[in-house]
Structure 1
Amino acid sequence: MEDAVEAFRPQVILTLAGCGLSNLARKTAQRHRLPLAGLFLDWFPVMRGHYGHKSTRGTLSRRYRKLYAECDLAFCTSDGMQEILGPHPNSHVIYPMPGKYRVTAGNTCPTRTGRFRLVYVGSVENFYGRMLCSLIEKVEATSDLEIVVVGPKADWPKQLLERARARGAYLGFKPPEETADVLASADALLVVMSFEKEHELFMRTSFTTKFLDYVAFGRPVILWGPEYSAPVRVTRRHGGAAVISSDDAGAVVSLCRQIAGDTALNEELSKQALQLHRTLFNPDRLQAIFVGEIENLVAARANQ
């Protein structure tokens, strides 16, 4: 690390908060008297894939907050993350940068059946998987709806997974260009946030990138999650999606039917999605905040 700093001569150290190298980044910034910028994207101390052991979560969360306080510049992935981390003199909310999807000339999405198509793209494991399974079972019992799910490593019950694959409801992993075809084929797009109490802190602070991806397609977005989740809170203030804030999968089915049968509602939700894409979720706006605040930090340090 010392050799890299000497060779590259950075003007700022940027770190992903909570990863194994964030403490090294902090110490390096201190040693070389460089400003430290942190990306606070997820509350990693409670994520099973990173740490997960309940006995360590308190200590790791305190370290996470301490790093936030020591950063000269902090970028938070949501308003909820910023609020829970607490006051900071130079903290800014930057929602996740959306991907760049392009619909291909030869469409690779499943053949249309004439049913109202709800599409979900994202994580299909754990609590996301449990919510999707409950919804798939509800949709299976209908004759006017279909659901298409894209995402790797589904950990669903074997029989349900086999049925979903056979019917084209579960497509597994798809590269971005094929995912774009599926998204473009949707009548509505689904965002899910867990209602399970165990994951409340994560839902309050995280922000799903897929919400930002979806709105660029100008389709109605259905946001299925608790009122305290960060995406629902944003939607309540800015619009952009129809919210189902109960854990009842049947309510999602009812909303799909309502959107299918109400042209005015369909058009209004599509309009709201595009408006969100052009304003709050505009990738150029998000990039400008990121670059501009780093430049301001470097300039301020140079003038000291």
Structure 2
Amino acid sequence: MVDNLPRILLVTEATLSQEGKGVNRTLVNLFDNYPAELLMLFCPEHELESNPTSSPFDRQVLSFAGHRLPIVHNRLGKSLNSLINWINLQLLDWFPISNLQKLEEFDPEIILICPVTSLCLLMGYKLTQHFHCPSLIYFMDDWIAIDNSRWLSNSVQKTANQLLKQADGWLMISEQLQTELSNRYQIKPQSSLIVHNPVDLSDKQPPDTARTHEGTFKVVYAGSIWSMHYDALAAIAEAIYQLRCDGKDIELILHTDKSFWNLYQEKWQQWQVTFGDLIPYQELNCYLNKHADMLLVTSSFLLENAPMTRSSVQTKLTDYMAAGKPILACGPDYSACNQFLKKWNCGLVCETNQIAEIKNFLLVVLDRQDLWQKIAITAFEVLKSNFDTKVVNQKLQVFVKNIVDRAAENSCVTESISSPKHLSFFKDDRTLLN
């Protein structure tokens, strides 16, 4: 634990719910051992209503009205929601900051903005203009690349540019994302840190190399299935189905929300994919260790999803690394997930969406149990050395504290230079005044 940690105002749509996924799960893991009295969460109220904050993060939570006009969740939404979003952003820009007195009483020493949508991007910017303290921006994917939302007084692109330019430090989920944003906005960060989802290894054991595979070979995918995942996942599903038709004892199991299953249910059933309920996070490691033979992560091959594929190291990767089973990543060669596994040499990478080629790839893998074990062992060791909660959180705390300390030192120097006492010499020295 780092001494004398600063008070952090965290501005994000992620509500720090223990049941959350993706960005939410990463933030929960990152602040797991941060003193609760030094952390205040500022979220859109509609997010807090649907996903209440879990203990101990619920000690200091404030909200703001993100959706003064509700989003339409029917066919009319396609034509109305862009206008509704425009109005909501303009109202958010015009209206005073909600709960400002309580925010001032908390008196943040640093503001950490982790936006998932334009709402917290804009609110984060408003807060940095009000509070004269250092700020950090944390992007976990490149959603701003495809968000061209505008409102009367500003836009997503201008606001992102302003936040990145004025930030005292950048936190990024990948080197690729940092490079992309730096090149796009022509900004070099004052300081930066790559921050992946950390995993608590205190109750986890290294892979059991004595265990041998028996029965059906189970390929498991755990998590959400957004458009940035689906087409690569579908290619794997079809390849595994064809292997089953060829007599191979292999099965693809999806552990995901029922809504994602239902969205593509006809295809999943056609390819004989097995549906498994979403596994609670606290049970994930034990389940994967006992019931999976290979863990799957997928990244879209479609050009329309390239900004997300290129930038986002998915949360599940480090969680998978703790399970003691080999990881298979399917996606294009520019996928951040593929690049991560290749950098650390801790997973298998399949960089094609051609079904015949995927089948051949899997056939080779199925015969190499020695390779599975080697990859699983390497992944666990990489995780232990680089992405264990203690390691990552320590680096983050040191990074944050250094920025606050540096800002305080610069402030003291500025005050010293501008202080009236430096003018007293000229006021008192008659010979110089004359």
Q: Same fold (TM over 0.5)?
A: yes
The residue number in structure 2 matching 1:28 is 127
User: 1:21 aligns to what SS in structure 2?
Assistant: helix
Pick from 249, 270, 273: which aligns with 1:144? 249
Q: Please list, as runs of the form range in 1=range in 2, the aligned pairs for 1:20-99 lying within 5 A after superposition.
A: 20-46=119-145, 60-86=156-182, 87-98=188-199
1:190-237 CA distance string (max 9 Å, x none): 111111111111111111000110001121111111111112222222
Distance 1:253 1:281 in 2: 32
Pick from 380, 384, 387: which aligns with 1:278? 384
CA RMSD, aligned part only? Answer: 2.8
The residue number in structure 1 matching 2:266 is 159
The residue number in structure 1 matching 2:106 is 8
1:198 paired with 2:292, answer: no
Alpha-carbon contact 1:74-1:91 (below 8 Å) kept: yes
Deviation at 1:243, TM superposition (A): 0.7
Q: Tell me which structure has the larger Cα radius of gyration.
A: 2
1:266 paired with 2:365, answer: no
Deviation at 1:35, TM superposition (A): 0.8
Specify which structure has the bigger relative contact order, considering alpha-carbon pairs within 8 angstroms and separated by 6 or more residues. 1
Alpha-carbon contact 2:285-2:322 (below 8 Å) kept: no
Distance 1:127 1:34 in 2: 36
Unaligned runs of 5+ in 1: 104-111
1:226 paired with 2:332, answer: yes
1:137-162 CA distance string (max 9 Å, x none): 33223132111111112254443344
Deviation at 1:62, TM superposition (A): 4.7
Which amino acid in 2 is paired with 1:75? L
Deviation at 1:46, TM superposition (A): 4.7
Which amino acid in 1 is paired with 2:266? Q
Alpha-carbon contact 1:240-1:275 (below 8 Å) kept: no
The residue number in structure 2 matching 1:239 is 345
1:11-64 CA distance string (max 9 Å, x none): 1111114541333333333333111111111222356xxx5779xxxx534532
Pick from 90, 98, 118: which aligns with 2:219? 118
TM-score by length of 1: 0.83
Instruction: Between 38-47 and 234-243, report the one with greater CA deviation.
Output: 38-47
1:113-155 CA distance string (max 9 Å, x none): 8111111112224342333233223322313211111111225
The residue number in structure 2 matching 1:293 is 399
1:267-304 CA distance string (max 9 Å, x none): 22112211221233333222112111111111112222
Percent of aligned pairs sharing the same letter: 20
1:76-121 CA distance string (max 9 Å, x none): 1111111011121211111133478979xxxxxxxx9811111111
The residue number in structure 2 matching 1:106 is none
Q: 1:61 to 1:228 in 2, by over 3 A?
A: farther
Distance 2:337 2:197 in 1: 12
User: 1:14 aligns to what SS in structure 2?
Assistant: strand
Distance 2:333 2:253 in 1: 25
The count of residues paired between Structure 1 and Structure 2 equals: 287
Q: 1:190 to 1:237 in 2, by over 3 A?
A: same
